[in-house]
Structure 1
Amino acid sequence: MKPPAHPSIEELLDASFLILDKPRGPSTHEVTAYIRKLLGVKKVGQMGTLDPQASGVLVIGIGKAVRLLRFVDMREKVYVGVLRTRQAPQNIDGLQAVFNRCLGQITQTPPKQSAVAKRPRQRKVYEFRALELVSNTALFTARVEAGTYIRVLCTEVGKAFGEGKMIELRRTSVGSFSESRCRRLPDLTDAAWEWKEHGDATALQQMLVPAQELLTLPCLRIAGEAAEALGRGSPLAISDVAGAEALEKGEWVQIAGEQGRLLAMAQVEGGKLRPRVVLGAK
């Protein structure tokens, strides 16, 4: 099975992802609004809001790929940050002992800065480690379940030292996507300018990731009338799609066309592959 050729700029703007290094300063909403205007597309979205003063990995969906963000594996996130306490811990081991109390399954209420409902919810903290300590200021790293608020963790730690707050934060990875894969906003701006002013989309194409490259679900290929029917939102009989017999009820799968382009995300139900997110027949 041949891999798909790299999509054209038009195909990428229709449905692709961007792994961005969000800078400190602008809000996540301001960043996505800027990219939407810069690229001239109708939809740009993300999963995993960062505070304005936080930086780091932000996975962005462009065009139809906004509807695919929920299928991207972002279950774990890693951060580095700076915590400042009112009273200085005696030593880094003492600080680590307090960090250790936050490991495992915890209950958090989103901070007032968050836009989500302020209801207690459970999340998992896999690693919370003090890296350096100078007086009352500590450098730390945390590996957590998506949806964990590092600001709240820092506040909890601070209670053992009179008070504490997070003063700096950077997200270094989301799922399998590390900061080494990130694109900088100024570079994206330059690439978009080169495309608009000189018709050269090479740099921009290298920055935008074809939708199917970030998805890890099983992928089946179809062609001809089946692809046309799927593009109209019609379900396909499992018996008519090679490889579908091994799928279990409720399982999600990618459906690609003959050339390898992603056509839809489908779910097994009632002996059929029912398209839930349709990108189009190609």
Structure 2
Amino acid sequence: MIELRESEMALVGNPPEERTIEEIINNGFVVIDKQAKPSSHQVSAWVRDMLGVEKAGHAGTLDPMVTGVLVVAIGKATRVIKNLQDSRKTYVTLLEYTKPIKEEKIKKLMKGFEGVIYQTPPRNAAVKRTLRKREIFSINIIEHTEKRTLFEVECEAGTYIRNLCRDVGYILGQKTSMAQLRRIATGPFNEEDSHTLLQLRDAFEEWKEGGDEKKIRQLILPVENLFEHLPKIVVKDSTVDALCHGAELGLPGVTSISEDITRGCIAGIFTMRGEAIGIAKIRVGSEEIKESVENDKKGNIAKMVTVLMKRDTYPRIWKGR
């Protein structure tokens, strides 16, 4: 983080470490290790009903037979889950051939898919079937036999791995199929962060029936952790409530920023105590913000897209029109 100015921090608000478990449940998320057969929607509904919350939503659909990392936002946190839906995904895939293929040949072919590719969603997809661009960031072969290849692929959200496996077959001149698929990462969250539905249920019952919060706090994380993959801007206490009422973020209200802010990006807006105020679209990059503060310039640098924090959590210091 780039520190731009000092500001006095008041002991107000409700930082993550001071929240009750009820508050975490109503504005948090859990990383589920989805098993085969249930749909992503079913898993989200089971989490919702298990925890007794009004809403739950996931960060990217997994087909029923696909397993792995499924981030499920709970309660108010569902309002910001879309930003994780748009994050990178990583999969491990088992590709099967009808004819033998040598490892060197498939390695060379796979590397050719890295970069921008074109795909049309399959007929059973819940999106419009139009040609679209997606980026493959990396493909690495884990294991290969004559008729099978196990590989890992990191890709842009919305990439269809089944289509990728089919396209490999087109190039080879033979029929290929995706035998198995497992998602091992969504944005900053991976398999090590995930838990089964059974583990979630047991932890929830331990708290409800015995009052032991230890396990449930390890599984259900505060909404702030959903912002890990985003650039960050920290603002003065005097700025917080104005943002909660829909005001734009001005330079005088900023205390520190991430180094990786770019013009037009989405960033998490935080209080000095580490609370998420919401998400904003940024108009200028880190260097421009830094230079503007050093030269005592004013002006707005961001517009709130989603506000999470309840109004009047911080004192109202700003003046309305």
Q: Provide the TM-score with structure 1 as the length reference.
A: 0.85
Gaps of 5+ in 2: 1-8, 284-298, 314-321
Paired position in structure 2 for 1:47: 59
Map 1:5-84; keep pairs closer than 5 Å: 5-72=17-84, 75-84=87-96
SS in 1 for 2:143: strand
2:87 and 2:157 in contact (8 A); partners too: yes
Q: Report the RMSD for the aligned CA atoms in angstroms.
A: 2.9
Shift of 1:253: 4.4
1:235 and 1:273 in contact (8 A); partners too: no
Shift of 1:47: 2.2
Shift of 1:272: 7.1
Gaps of 5+ in 1: none
2:304 aligned partner, one-letter code:
P
Cα gap change, 1:98 to 1:18, in 2 (>3 Å):
same
1:211-260 deviations in Å (ceiling 9; x for gaps): 22231332324436x544444x2415626524389998756544444643
Using the alignment, how far apart are the partners of 1:220 and 1:73 within structure 2? 24
Indicate yes or no: 2:189 matched with 1:177. yes
Cα gap change, 1:106 to 1:276, in 2 (>3 Å):
closer
Shift of 1:30: 0.8
* Shift >6 Å, 4+ stretches: 244-249
What is the aligned counterpart of 1:188 among 171, 180, 200?
Answer: 200
2:233 and 2:254 in contact (8 A); partners too: no
Paired position in structure 2 for 1:209: 221
Map 1:90-109; keep pairs closer than 5 Å: 91-109=102-120
1:19 and 1:58 in contact (8 A); partners too: yes
Using the alignment, how far apart are the partners of 1:150 and 1:125 within structure 2? 10
Shift of 1:46: 1.8
Paired position in structure 2 for 1:144: 155
What is the aligned counterpart of 1:157 among 168, 192, 195?
Answer: 168
Cα gap change, 1:222 to 1:93, in 2 (>3 Å):
same
Using the alignment, how far apart are the partners of 2:112 and 2:273 within structure 1? 52
SS in 1 for 2:81: helix
Using the alignment, how far apart are the partners of 1:4 and 1:155 within structure 2? 45
Cα gap change, 1:234 to 1:171, in 2 (>3 Å):
closer
Count of equivalent residues: 279
Paired position in structure 1 for 2:300: 271
Matched residues, percent identical?
A: 33
2:16 and 2:222 in contact (8 A); partners too: no
Shift of 1:73: 8.4
What is the aligned counterpart of 1:223 among 229, 232, 237?
Answer: 237
